[in-house]
Amino acid sequence: MRLNTIKPAAGAKQAARRVGRGIGSGLGKTAGRGHKGQKSRAGGFHKVGFEGGQMPIYRRLPKRGFFSLTHARNVEVRLDELNALPMDEVDLLTLKQAGLIAGNALSAKVILSGELSRKVILKGVGATRGAKAAIEAAGGSVTE
């Protein structure tokens, strides 16, 4: 293979659509834009959601609910993941350094999933009721 012989794979490049070049092209006369109207003209454009001056649907319908921007940054950690950690004292920073949670996580919560066979002390990390019971049964403690 040489640089002067490189070319795209067969069918990878498609010829640009030539509009307004006669009946035989299939895109003559109106050039695929239909008849009249704002969208048929050069430079004709309107905002997304514009309905010709009618009150748009996003303004006709009531606002409802709430979308939390921090929801995705509250993460869960399983008991068996805690069991695999080499350290006994676990906080948010150690979970980040171990790669169990993302670096931009705001909070973490331990959930009851898997087994915990050693003593673990949680500091500043939440735990569900079942996970807290399992940690305390293994000899550990939870301080939030």
pTM of the model: 0.57
pLDDT digits (tens, 9 = 90+) for 110-138: 999 999 999 999 999 999 999 999 999 99
Supply the CATH number for residue 112's domain.
3.100.10.10
pLDDT digits (tens, 9 = 90+) for 2-47: 999 999 999 999 999 999 999 999 999 999 999 998 889 999 888 9
| Of the candidates 44, 47, 54, 109, the residue with the CA atom closest to the CA atom of residue 82 | 109
Q: Is residue 80 part of a domain?
A: yes
> Element (H or E) spanning 6, and its range?
none
Q: Any bridge partners for residue 143, and if so which?
A: 123
Q: Is residue 139 part of a domain?
A: yes
Q: Which domain range does residue 109 map to?
A: 71-143
Q: Is residue 25 part of a domain?
A: no
Count up the domains in the chain and report the number.
1
- Residue 111, SS3? strand
Q: What is residue 93's predicted lDDT score, i.e. its pLDDT?
A: 95
